Amino acid sequence: MQIIPCPYCGVEAEETELTYGHEAHLKRVGPDSDAADFEAYMFTRKNPKGVHFERWRHSNGCGKWFLAARHTVTLEVFGTYPAQTTEPPAELVEKIKAKCPEWKGWK
Answer yes or no: is 81 within a domain: yes
pLDDT tens by residue, 68-106:
999 999 999 999 999 999 999 999 999 999 999 988 876
**Does the pLDDT at position 107 exceed 70?**
no
Whether residue 59 is predicted with pLDDT greater than 90 in this model: the reply is yes
CATH code of the domain covering residue 17: 3.30.2270.10
The C-alpha atoms of residue 83 and residue 64 are separated, in whole angstroms, by: 9
**pLDDT confidence band for 39 (50 / 70 / 90):** confident
Higher pLDDT, 8 or 28: 8
Query: Does 34 fall in a domain?
Result: no
For residues 17-38, average pLDDT = 87
* 106 lies in some domain: no
- Residue 7: which region, alpha, beta or left (left: phi > 0; alpha: psi -120 to 50)? alpha
Output the pTM of the full model.
0.85
CA angle 5, 11, 12 (to 5 degrees): 50
Number of domains forming the structure of the chain = 1
**Enclosing domain of residue 16:** 3-26+43-99
77 inside domain: yes
Q: Cα separation of 81 and 103, whole Å?
A: 20
